Structure 1
């Protein structure tokens, strides 16, 4: 029986291949283990820690697909494997956002947008993609639902895939703009070039996979793509393994600084340690104004341009940042930093209390003065 032939009683339409899932379980497991070792070795926790997690999602999806191959009538296996396997690629996309953010932290004076905003904006929208997939994939794969409900699921998945394609288009333009600036300034080392080229290839791979899924769900369940398993193995399994293997061979943690505070001096040779380019705006503001257009008008960005400061000035800024750093408990209780003397809301109360105290002191002093 061929991969596109109908199998009576199969919820998948065809009889799922029993050997291929095992192959990809082994491949993704190997890649995930290597990624774990590479992340530990290079200390690139903030950049590549999600690579093993992405591999784990794919592995879990293929394990359940293997079970479904032996129980093709079981709807639960189809739903679970679909959700898990479709959740893996957005995580790989998320990793690319973190990698670009780290590059922009390294050469901040050429960054088209705040490095931290790359993470907050793209990661936030990527989370929306994951939510849409989670809500849509199980509805779409659940044949016990009404056609209207399954259509809703397909529409949610289509919306997620369309958003992913748009995100990667914007991501590619952002990376290309930085690439041109750095190339013109002659600041691109061999390692940075490799990381950027790997980003382009990885983004292309994930985009191809998104387009495949987009076409599949746009054409519907009666399409040749949906009914022929070979398309799944080529455009989902194989190319996503190529993506994770690419990041194994050219691991970004090996070629980028461990810390966001390390940046390249304008001479293109000296590495300096700054305070990091912190964005103290509320998180929701960074999402709606990722380029900080308001900051350009108000001149706020000039206050954060630390890369032209002297060594003594940088040392003072680092000490100030260390003094104001919040502990883990405070970050967990108040992740958006709303309260406290330096919180977005708390600092306004502090300024009001300070103003009231100043006025009270002034009144007391005036009352104590002898009449003229």
Structure 2
């Protein structure tokens, strides 16, 4: 993950002010444009460590590692980032330490978002009749766009890094960075749109039981938190397109010199995101077996064959939306849910709170592939 233009400009401009190989910094603030807090990084590091422990426990407890692994990984990356930030606050002139901490802090939120994509994929397996793309490829669909975002970020960061003394080059890099953050906002809005579409279809068909509504609400809430962070970063990027020594108005300087903005609009939303997933863990509300789906009565759960796509696997990666099938008015997946009597109903159900992913409590019947 590349660094944002405002913070990178601080490093670049301070380095360019000296002809020596090593940059010189103010003894009190160092690489920062303010006296960095010693307490807040430790507080956020402790909170995220607690959340990380909860994620590990719940992933084992509900046997949900495949779906919420990214929450574990993102929390781990975030904890490392705040530990490095805490150490850096006591060593503000240590450039590499500052860079490492910043990279880890910026890298974690997109990983959290990947967890939301996985949860969306599992919802689509649970209500396959409303899935408008292959649930197995949902993550890849969003990852494709994420790669584009990261490509723009990397290109922008590279131009900023090499354009400390070239204003136009610096500006072009900063603009790329701003575009990448805005595109992240668009991706998150698209995710909310998909969730809202599924929610609306379920409600219209009377297929919105309590467990499914809780997962929908969780994705709405966590996506709102991601949007808060993205919007903050987008506004910050747009206000810091020019280097401070060229044209930096009062708003630009405010973004560069106020540390509380980082904690209020970047760190706090992501901590709330992590704890929200812990409190409303999808392993409590969705089956870990992706062949288990919700019948049209909105209560019964059946063990079907799972999403079956007749296309070669490589084609499902290239065309996850099955655009070819849409144009031919013949999608390449089996609509097994249209023949519910072929699939045995489960004795328990997440809709009624009688089913569980906890091993000792699970009473899910084995998957059937034959008619009954």
For residues 1-372 of structure 1, the aligned pairs below 5 Å read: 8-9=26-27, 10-133=30-153, 136=156, 146-147=165-166, 151=171, 153-220=173-240, 222=244, 223=252, 224-279=254-309, 281=311, 285-286=315-316, 289-298=319-328, 300-301=330-331, 303-309=333-339
Unaligned runs of 5+ in 1: 1-6, 321-372
SS in 1 for 2:293: strand
Q: Confirm or deny: 8 A CA contact 2:307 2:333 kept in the other structure.
A: no
* Separation in 1, partners of 2:217, 2:210: 11
Q: Confirm or deny: 8 A CA contact 1:132 1:160 kept in the other structure.
A: yes
Over 3 Å counting, the alpha-carbon distance change for 1:94 and 1:303 in structure 2 is closer
Q: Confirm or deny: 8 A CA contact 1:90 1:130 kept in the other structure.
A: no
* Separation in 2, partners of 1:70, 1:170: 41
Q: Confirm or deny: 8 A CA contact 2:45 2:79 kept in the other structure.
A: yes
Deviation readout 1:71-108 (Å, 9 max, x if unpaired):
21222122212211111111111111111111111011
CA RMSD of the aligned region, Å? 2.8
* Separation in 2, partners of 1:119, 1:280: 20
SS in 2 for 1:301: coil
- Larger relative contact order, structure 1 or 2 (CA cutoff 8 Å, min sep 6): 2
SS in 2 for 1:263: strand
Unaligned runs of 5+ in 2: 1-24, 245-251, 345-366
Over 3 Å counting, the alpha-carbon distance change for 1:293 and 1:36 in structure 2 is same
Q: Confirm or deny: 8 A CA contact 1:262 1:276 kept in the other structure.
A: yes
Larger Rg: 1
Which structure is higher in helix share?
1
Residue 242 of structure 1: how far off its partner (Å): 0.8
Deviation readout 1:347-370 (Å, 9 max, x if unpaired):
xxxxxxxxxxxxxxxxxxxxxxxx
SS in 2 for 1:58: helix
Over 3 Å counting, the alpha-carbon distance change for 1:77 and 1:217 in structure 2 is farther
* Separation in 2, partners of 1:42, 1:232: 34
* Separation in 1, partners of 2:266, 2:39: 16
* Separation in 1, partners of 2:173, 2:185: 19
Deviation readout 1:205-262 (Å, 9 max, x if unpaired):
1011011111112211641112210100101111110111111111111111101111
Over 3 Å counting, the alpha-carbon distance change for 1:218 and 1:124 in structure 2 is same
Q: Confirm or deny: 8 A CA contact 2:303 2:343 kept in the other structure.
A: no
Larger mean CA deviation between 106-115 and 92-101 belongs to 106-115
Over 3 Å counting, the alpha-carbon distance change for 1:95 and 1:170 in structure 2 is same
* Separation in 1, partners of 2:142, 2:151: 14
